[in-house]
Amino acid sequence: MLSTKGEQSKSVDSLVEILEFTHFARVFRFNQTAEIGRKKEIFHEIKVSVVMELV
């Protein structure tokens, strides 16, 4: 389950996952290294979840 709110325990009960899929595209991510700096990495997939909040 995903939560965009700060209180995860409160919002998890009211979220329903509708769809989960993998989108294939070239994406650049910048990860921090042990030294001061960042390392650029190329990924070819993004995991996507579509959720609905029940009110």
pTM value > 0.75: no
Give the pLDDT confidence score for residue 12 in this predicted structure.
57
* 26 falls within a domain: yes
Total domain count, the chain: 1
Distance CA 43, CA 20 (A): 18
Give the C-alpha separation, 31 to 38, whole Å: 5
Q: Is residue 5 part of a domain?
A: no
Residue 1 lies in a domain: no
Strands in 1-55 per DSSP E: 15-32, 38-53
* pLDDT tens per residue, range 16-29: 889 999 999 998 88
Which tens digits make up the pLDDT trace of 3-54? 555 555 454 578 888 999 999 999 888 888 887 788 889 999 999 999 998 8
Q: Note whether residue 4 is domain-resident.
A: no
Does a structural domain hold residue 42? yes
Whether 3 maps to a domain, the answer reads: no
How remote is the C-alpha of 17 from its chain's centroid?
Answer: 13
Establish if 55 belongs to a structural domain.
no
> Which range marks the domain in which residue 36 is found?
11-49
Residue 35 forms part of a structural domain: yes
